[in-house]
Structure 1
Amino acid sequence: MTSPKLFMHVQDPLLASNLLSLNSVRQYELNISHQYENWLDQLTTTKCDVALVEINSLDDAALKELINSPALHQIEFLFFSTGEPDPILDRLMKKGAGFHYRAPYNLKLIESSLEDLFAELNLSQYLTGTKTSTQTSYLDQFGLLVGSSSAMHHLYRTIRKVAVTKANALIIGESGTGKELIANTLHVFSQRAESPFVAINCGALSPELIDSELFGHIKGAFTGAHKDHQGVFEQAEGGTLFLDEVTEMPYEHQVKLLRVLESGEYKPVGAPQVKIANVRIIAATNRIPSDAIRDEILREDLYFRLAQFPILVPNLKDREGDACGLAQHFLAYRNTQDGQHKQLSASSLDKINHYHWPGNVRELKHAIERAYIMADETIQPEHIIINTMNRTNEDKTAGIPMGMRLDDIEKIVILKTLKKNNGNRTDTAHQLGISVKTLYNKLDKYESVHLL
């Protein structure tokens, strides 16, 4: 068995020395670039399997050429940079270029990635194809995801393994953890990467138009159907369909989605002919699937169809060190966009590091955006407004009478929510986290008590 080939284009002597010292590098047949020649030309000539490339110039011609080069999808890339935002590199990562490590580098994680690549290459036997500047980010990057914690690197490895399969995936994680970015990264690393990625929020679907949104309709199929409409299954033909917050789809409509997954067939509203779906399904939910099934929010048979491979997304509080890194990352990109040099004070970073971020990455990003606007040159702790949407326990219990029976409190909440939704029982059930059937049973109970 021959060793896979490794290509290295690294100009920084210390980084080169550190990489050469890794045991995992010695498992490869090593090819080092000639520093003053186009490294992509050299890489193509050597026909290597893995490339370690240091990015140290926005004018790197080879990097620009790589965007349209077949090598992008034939070779595993590990990029290294100081962290300055680079639009060319960002485009490459969105196209599934591989890993992007930002200084200061974690050699253990780099070695772990190389070990995984080495194992995969040998297994397949080629059968399948410190303080940073205010203008830099130091987080590693994989596809559309950034993060240097061990939790994120575990996620990267999972995505690599799942992406190349045909299995449907269910992404499970709290709101704000980046589930759509994970779905998109799965797409760009899959064999469907050159075809469409279509995302739809199932919670925003109108019950009256779900069939049309999913499967499309023909002109005249119903009042207001003035022209043919492609549903998301047809829009994503050959590519990936992302069903975000799939547990928010009305329970009674989930069987229609199940039929497509089981048979591969669907019919646009009003159309006489059946169409065959050619899409990969990736779904996501912020609920615990077992709880959603128990509460009749998610059909159990649909869950097993969607979750051929479940992917658990770590919360920001479980990504050690990533909160400060993400704050610096968001700030660096905003600085570059506006030509500014704002920075985070040490006390601001301490505040970021010690807050638990219940809204996850989304909450952190919004906090940095607000702080950036409010601060002049240095972002201080008072500029970082947090906890605005997460009131204390005392605030949450304000207005609830002491000693009231729990079933009476439940009745008040149900009836007030129903009134707010103008009697819409489906919306009310979804907001309360119960099934429509459970809501009907409780309303029938209240009505019978009233009649007595």
Structure 2
Amino acid sequence: MSLPVLFVHLVSQEFCAPLAQCKALSEFSVVNADGGSHWLDQWQESKADAAIIDITALSDQELDLLAAGDLFSHQDVILFSEGKPNPKLDQLMLGGSVFHFRTPVDFESVNDTLEDIAGYFFHSQAKRQGVNSSNLDQFGLLVGSSRVMHQLYRTLRRVARTESNVLIIGESGSGKELVANTIHLASERNHKPFIAINCGAISPELVDSELFGHEKGAFTGAHRNHAGVFKQAEGGTLFLDEVTEMPIEHQVKLLRVLETGEYRPVGSQQTLKADVRIVAATNRDPQKAIENERFREDLYFRLSQFPIHVPPLRERKEDITGLALHFLAHRNTEEKQNISISPAALEAIAQHSWPGNVRELKHSVERAYILADDQIEQQHLVFDAPPLQSPSSVEESIPAGVALEEIERAAIMNTLAENQGNKTDTASDLGISVKTLYNKLERYQAKD
């Protein structure tokens, strides 16, 4: 944030030295009146946020000019005087936020007053930023002014103009889909569809159908023709999110399409040509996924013609408070509200580690927005998910005699709801495979 501007016009030398000792001056950009143009003109030209004016030797004409102007109506003004009664001074005191210090001036009180003025300025500036605008740079759907983000922007601009397959690697919540969509928007395919599919959220039995489509009657339940994502994204970009979560036996089919450029819908004898640009993403380390036999090495090399690493939020700390204000500004615009955020809340946001990255920050701001009245305070911020119950409290909460299947079903459904339907994260939290989770969900659905 910029510093408030403080205009200073001192006539009596007895005020100069003690004022210079006020520590609160460091919170201002100080403009001193000089011997050039008239000090009143300099004051107006400075566009100051506050002023210190020594009126001990001002003429009646200058006091009249002060009283007639509107400088007092939008600034905090500190006046120094010798304390002699003056009707014109009394009139000035009615003009706005005016602090009058008489000799001998208590400069500790002056320092406290300057600190209050600066604090109010920073609060108001944070409010203006939060309500009206974002100060972050932007490329495509990405925002951020840090050096690492500008480097990412330049990389995306270059790769977007090619037809190379891209593999985006980044932690959960870091914005991988926004990166993929930005590549699409900056490419020559931007007039065609951008289709995204989460490879970890597809039932293993339906992977082929979702990718390549199927003909009516190809399998039980196939009551009509279905266009797969390769067909839906024709001419555009196909985004394969969490590609390392795709069942290993289906990865070879995807590899074949990437190698030949052809695919065949389930139940069809017709071979179709794939005209899509492939962008894939994973929150896993690809090499570890290969070592753990979760990801085919040949598919990795085919997808990663151009790998891109998306930095986690902790590597772009200078963007954190700007992102918080960005999200607040957009929420205020959507809701037609004027909610601000306190400096203490912004500082707490700046100091948090954000393991959930930009997604966690966005959700925290939105939760705080709902809880706040006129201003988001530190107590409105919720950073971490509620801690899991300890084994002892879980044991105490489950009544005796409940069937194990009911306990298992409750654990699965509650975890699925907590993860907003994300089956990959749910399986990870429960310590089971995605395939096992799908099998259990299908069994529950059959019973219902």
TM-score, normalised by the number of residues in structure 1: 0.59
1:377 aligned partner: 374
1:251 aligned partner: 248
Q: Is the 8 A contact 1:248 1:430 kept in 2?
A: no
Deviation string 1:39-97 (CA, Å, 9 cap, x unpaired) is xxxxxxxxxxxxxxxxxxxxxxxxxxxxxxxxxxxxxxxxxxxxxxxxxxxxxxxxxxx
Partners of 2:434 and 2:294 in 1: CA distance: 6
Partners of 1:303 and 1:396 in 2: CA distance: 39
1:52-201 mapped onto 2 (5 Å cutoff): 131=126, 132-133=128-129, 134-201=131-198
Which one of the candidate residues 309, 317, 321 is aligned to 2:318?
321
1:225-264 mapped onto 2 (5 Å cutoff): 225-264=222-261
Shift of 1:420: 7.3
Partners of 2:344 and 2:238 in 1: CA distance: 43
Change (3 A) 1:290 1:435: farther
Change (3 A) 1:428 1:358: closer
1:268 aligned partner: 265
Shift of 1:340: 1.2
1:305 aligned partner: 302
Partners of 1:138 and 1:430 in 2: CA distance: 37
1:295 aligned partner: 292
* Number of residue-to-residue matches in the alignment: 285
Partners of 1:420 and 1:142 in 2: CA distance: 41
- Percent of counterpart pairs with the same letter? 60
Aligned to 2:132, what secondary structure does the other structure show? coil
2:200 aligned partner: 203
Change (3 A) 1:261 1:432: farther
Shift of 1:152: 0.6
Name stretches of at least 5 consecutive residues in structure 2 with no aligned partner.
Answer: 1-124, 393-406, 414-423, 436-448
Deviation string 1:282-306 (CA, Å, 9 cap, x unpaired) is 0000001111000011110000000
Partners of 1:278 and 1:218 in 2: CA distance: 20
Aligned to 1:273, what secondary structure does the other structure show? coil
The amino acid that maps onto 2:235 is G
The amino acid that maps onto 2:192 is S
Partners of 1:138 and 1:420 in 2: CA distance: 43
Partners of 2:429 and 2:338 in 1: CA distance: 45
RMSD: 2.7
Q: Is the 8 A contact 2:248 2:295 kept in 1?
A: yes
The amino acid that maps onto 2:210 is E
Deviation string 1:127-177 (CA, Å, 9 cap, x unpaired) is xxx855322111111100101111111110110011001100000000101
Change (3 A) 1:364 1:430: closer
1:212 aligned partner: 209
Partners of 1:143 and 1:364 in 2: CA distance: 20
Aligned to 1:325, what secondary structure does the other structure show? helix
Shift of 1:320: 2.5
Deviation string 1:366-421 (CA, Å, 9 cap, x unpaired) is 111111111111110000111125x5xxx79867xxxxxxxxxxxxxxxx999978
Change (3 A) 1:325 1:430: closer
Aligned to 2:133, what secondary structure does the other structure show? coil
Deviation string 1:164-209 (CA, Å, 9 cap, x unpaired) is 0110000000010110010000001111111110000001111111
Aligned to 1:282, what secondary structure does the other structure show? strand
Partners of 2:186 and 2:272 in 1: CA distance: 27
The amino acid that maps onto 2:172 is S
Q: Is the 8 A contact 2:427 2:434 kept in 1?
A: no
The amino acid that maps onto 1:314 is P
Q: Is the 8 A contact 1:243 1:282 kept in 2?
A: yes
Q: Is the 8 A contact 2:200 2:434 kept in 1?
A: no
The amino acid that maps onto 2:191 is E
2:338 aligned partner: 341
Q: Is the 8 A contact 2:200 2:242 kept in 1?
A: yes
TM-score, normalised by the number of residues in structure 2: 0.60
Q: Is the 8 A contact 1:357 1:364 kept in 2?
A: yes
Q: Is the 8 A contact 2:412 2:430 kept in 1?
A: no
Partners of 2:370 and 2:412 in 1: CA distance: 36
Q: Is the 8 A contact 2:317 2:350 kept in 1?
A: no
1:282 aligned partner: 279
Partners of 1:206 and 1:430 in 2: CA distance: 18
The amino acid that maps onto 1:170 is L
Partners of 1:247 and 1:186 in 2: CA distance: 21
The amino acid that maps onto 1:192 is R
Change (3 A) 1:260 1:333: same
Partners of 2:432 and 2:146 in 1: CA distance: 33
1:361 aligned partner: 358
Q: Is the 8 A contact 1:296 1:434 kept in 2?
A: no
Partners of 1:169 and 1:417 in 2: CA distance: 39
The amino acid that maps onto 1:373 is I
Partners of 2:303 and 2:133 in 1: CA distance: 39
Partners of 1:371 and 1:164 in 2: CA distance: 40
2:101 aligned partner: none
Change (3 A) 1:431 1:277: farther
1:351 aligned partner: 348
Q: Is the 8 A contact 2:214 2:267 kept in 1?
A: yes
Name stretches of at least 5 consecutive residues in structure 1 with no aligned partner.
Answer: 1-129, 400-415, 437-452
Q: Is the 8 A contact 1:144 1:184 kept in 2?
A: yes
Aligned to 2:331, what secondary structure does the other structure show? helix
Q: Any runs of at least 4 consecutive aligned residues in structure 1 with deviations exceeding 2 A, and if so which? A: 130-134, 395-399, 416-422, 426-436
Change (3 A) 1:313 1:219: same
